[in-house]
Structure 1
């Protein structure tokens, strides 16, 4: 019993750490945008390609030729391409564009609408009306977005329409890359799919934006922020989160991973001096509450579903 308790405590701690590292990644992106003149068109293909190739090299070293087994079946190859381009690539690009247009806290909180969108989609697929708790979550989510976007005044927008649209697209693509590869997840490890998805998405985005044409001053703060995004915010955060899922289960892990928007918001406010107002925090709290409500419902039902953020 004591060993089980220690395992649970370790699972909680590493899941929280994984979520905090995801939040750090967003804040480091904001730092590069604001202080180093970096653009999303440069940052995202670099992040995806370097993180994806590093993870892929691990599988090549470990499994050798078996690391390429997903390409031996046409359907699997097509689905991992969709996962990498329409899922991971678009999710990462829209997320970092939202940060570029607003800040890490706002972008991360808006992206956390994805479980609510998944809930709506599941209701549609199951041809049923939302339950009372799901209706409450939907009302909280819409109210939270309204407060973040307008500060309660229907005649004004306090964040740009582009930032709001990109943020909502980011949430929608999280839905896509969580639901689209489920058949593949029955045959391949999730980290293996992530390695190929990041590599594919990064290469495609690099061909579009040609990041090698950009010239930046690669000083120590620049390299530290970039390293945090690639290695801490991608590889380490995902590894910690998945280990947490093994120890405490996906529903509980999803709840503890909600530290991500909190970490991103605190870092944006304290480190990067983002000008949040009390009404922003009210809107943030409403959206985070929807995740806690839905996640707690899954936990009570023993539901194994979880939302992978990165």
Structure 2
């Protein structure tokens, strides 16, 4: 069977960057929504499983309508769908939550968001061309900014299992961007890929809960959110519809427009959005060092963008 050649991308546009930022902002809402559920008695594994399961249901009908009469596309892209679901949907979150059990949240997130650096190395191996100085400078600047936003320098505790799971989450995140950005003539649409990937990703999450590999508890009690006691349904729908279904679909669209490497750097803004949403919804005031980190992340993205002298083809 002859492998189909990737479709050459046009240069990134303002729309592509806008969609990438919208996706990052949507992912960034998962913090406040998730914290409300956790304070209401939910465990992370239960919240993540419900998040992905509901998102899969939300996208089920649009995905069916998108694929109706074209089911051969799903068969041709089954491997891509499974990889997307196992890495970008299930793998990232499961490895991250295991890492959090052994590390501080900031260090775990810093390890997971090493994915842009991994993608720089992946592109280097794929093309056999060393990254430009601008790309390397952008990577270093963005990662430094990420460390400041996450404020990891105060109390850094390392653990072998935690570091291993954090790096596994980074590899899963990198795989997500590669899979999401890959296109050919018989590619699934972003909606179909996200919808089918959600369905594939929820299966290992359910298995983890059924086997008792992680604590799995949920509650129907009211939860604290944005200064009020609200039904658990509100943050649950928020984390599923906004921070999953919408975030993943727009993420695939922007990744295909920007390419995996640039999209992964723009996605670093998720942590900055998370800080801002925590400030707005939870009253958690960001520190000056976190705001300075946000500036460095933006500067790093701009440096990587400046190094893109031709459309990225993966």
In the alignment, which residue of structure 2 is the partner of 1:56? 60
In the alignment, which residue of structure 2 is the partner of 1:174? 173
Give the superposition deviation at 1:289. 3.2
Question: Cα gap change, 1:204/1:194 in structure 2, threshold over 3 Å: closer, same or farther?
Answer: same
In the alignment, which residue of structure 1 is the partner of 2:47? 43
Number of residue equivalences: 287
Q: Over residues 259-278 of structure 1, what are the superposed CA-to-partner deviations in whole Å (9 max), with x where a residue is unaligned? A: 53322012234543558644
In the alignment, which residue of structure 2 is the partner of 1:22? 27
The two structures have a TM-score, normalised by structure 1, of: 0.71
The SS at the match of 1:157 is coil
In the alignment, which residue of structure 1 is the partner of 2:3? none
CA distance in 2, matches of 1:276, 1:158: 22
CA distance in 1, matches of 2:271, 2:192: 26
Give the superposition deviation at 1:123. 1.3
> In 2, are the aligned partners of 1:83 and 1:180 still within 8 Å (CA)?
yes
In the alignment, which residue of structure 1 is the partner of 2:278? 268
CA distance in 2, matches of 1:200, 1:51: 12
Structure 1, 179-188 or 52-61: larger mean CA deviation: 179-188
CA RMSD of aligned residues (A): 4.1
Give the superposition deviation at 1:125. 2.8
Question: Cα gap change, 1:160/1:141 in structure 2, threshold over 3 Å: closer, same or farther?
Answer: farther
In the alignment, which residue of structure 2 is the partner of 1:3? none
Q: Does 1:303 align with 2:311?
A: yes
Question: Cα gap change, 1:273/1:96 in structure 2, threshold over 3 Å: closer, same or farther?
Answer: farther
Question: Cα gap change, 1:271/1:169 in structure 2, threshold over 3 Å: closer, same or farther?
Answer: farther
Please, which runs of 5 or more residues in structure 1 have no aligned partner? 1-7
> In 2, are the aligned partners of 1:22 and 1:234 still within 8 Å (CA)?
yes
Question: Cα gap change, 1:10/1:289 in structure 2, threshold over 3 Å: closer, same or farther?
Answer: closer
CA distance in 2, matches of 1:130, 1:172: 19
Give the superposition deviation at 1:28. 1.4
> In 1, are the aligned partners of 2:141 and 2:297 still within 8 Å (CA)?
yes
Q: Over residues 273-292 of structure 1, what are the superposed CA-to-partner deviations in whole Å (9 max), with x where a residue is unaligned? A: 55864444444544453233
Q: Over residues 21-44 of structure 1, what are the superposed CA-to-partner deviations in whole Å (9 max), with x where a residue is unaligned? A: 2211233123322x2232221122
The SS at the match of 1:122 is helix
> In 1, are the aligned partners of 2:104 and 2:156 still within 8 Å (CA)?
no
Give the superposition deviation at 1:13. 5.9
Give the superposition deviation at 1:118. 0.7
> In 1, are the aligned partners of 2:84 and 2:180 still within 8 Å (CA)?
yes
CA distance in 1, matches of 2:151, 2:167: 12
Higher share in helix: 1
> In 2, are the aligned partners of 1:40 and 1:93 still within 8 Å (CA)?
no
Map residues 143-222 of structure 1 onto 2, 5 A cutoff.
143-144=144-145, 148=150, 150-151=152-153, 157=156, 166-180=165-179, 186-187=185-186, 188-210=188-210, 214-219=217-222, 220-222=230-232
> In 2, are the aligned partners of 1:59 and 1:67 still within 8 Å (CA)?
no
CA distance in 2, matches of 1:216, 1:165: 31
